[in-house]
Amino acid sequence: MHKKIKEIKSNESPPKVIKNLFNKNEINDFLKLYEQLPTTVHNKKQNVIKKRWLIEYGKDLENLFYQRVKNEIGDFKYDNLKTESGNIIYGLFQESYNPIGLHIDGGFNFEDLIYKQTLIPLTPVGSTVIFKNRYYGQSTNFTIDQNELNVKKLNYGQNKRSNAHIGLYGDKPFSSVDHKKYLNHEKIDNLVGLEIDMVYEWELGSMLVFDRTNLHCSSSKIDGKKIGLTTFTKK
Binding site for Fe ion (CB under 5 A): 105
CB of 134 to Fe ion, least distance (A): 14
- Which of 220, 235, 212 shows the shortest CA–CA distance to 104? 212
CB atoms inside a 10 Å sphere around CB 9: 13
b/e per residue 38-76 (b: at least 16 CB within 10 A): eeeeeeeeeebbbbbbbeebbeebbeebeebbeeebeeb
CB of 216 to Fe ion, least distance (A): 6
**Cβ-based nearer residue to Fe ion, 105 or 197:** 105
Asked whether 58 and 68 are in contact (CB, 8 A), the reply is no
The HSE-up count of residue 122 (CA atoms within 13 Å, CB side) is 22
CB atoms inside a 10 Å sphere around CB 158: 13
CB of 92 to Fe ion, least distance (A): 9
Task: Provide Rg for the chain, Cα atoms.
Answer: 17
**Cβ-based nearer residue to Fe ion, 105 or 112:** 105
**Cβ-based nearer residue to Fe ion, 174 or 232:** 232
CB of 233 to Fe ion, least distance (A): 13
CB of 94 to Fe ion, least distance (A): 9
**Cβ-based nearer residue to Fe ion, 27 or 141:** 141
The CB-nearest residue to Fe ion is 105
SS3 154: coil
**Cβ-based nearer residue to Fe ion, 79 or 105:** 105
